[in-house]
Amino acid sequence: MLELLKEKEMQKTFPMLAFVKDLDMTTPLSVEDSETQNPVPAKKVCCNGRGRVTEKQLMTVARGLGHSWRRIGIQALDIPSVRIEQIEEETTIHVDRVFAMLRYWRNQKRKEATAAYLHSLLSQKDLEVPSESIDFLLND
């Protein structure tokens, strides 16, 4: 799969996946071998949009999203409308609602919830999210 994502045509179609070219594909023989040869930190801190998006980043995005947050949640983040309604009932402050929605998305996506992935979802033209509200996700 990784080799497919490294192909020139895929990179051209999905420029946000440029970091994939630098990934090394190795399959460890055992868990013990992988831990001694390549120790992996318990939780990767975001670097150039590749790490899991942090709560601080989610709050910054939440402050930048307007009243179309429901549509963004349903259309871009695939959050069920029932969950959106629950968030509305649980919280009354706009920024807190948007933050709760983004945290829900992050918890659902787990390791896939990177800053770069969130940026790609929110930068769809039909959503009209201001780029200044989300471009920082690619720089942290």
User: pTM (2 decimals)?
Assistant: 0.63
**69 or 27: which leads in pLDDT:** 69
| Polymer length in residues for the chain | 140
Q: Give the pLDDT confidence of 97-139 residue by residue, as tens digits.
A: 999 999 999 999 998 999 889 988 988 878 888 888 888 888 8
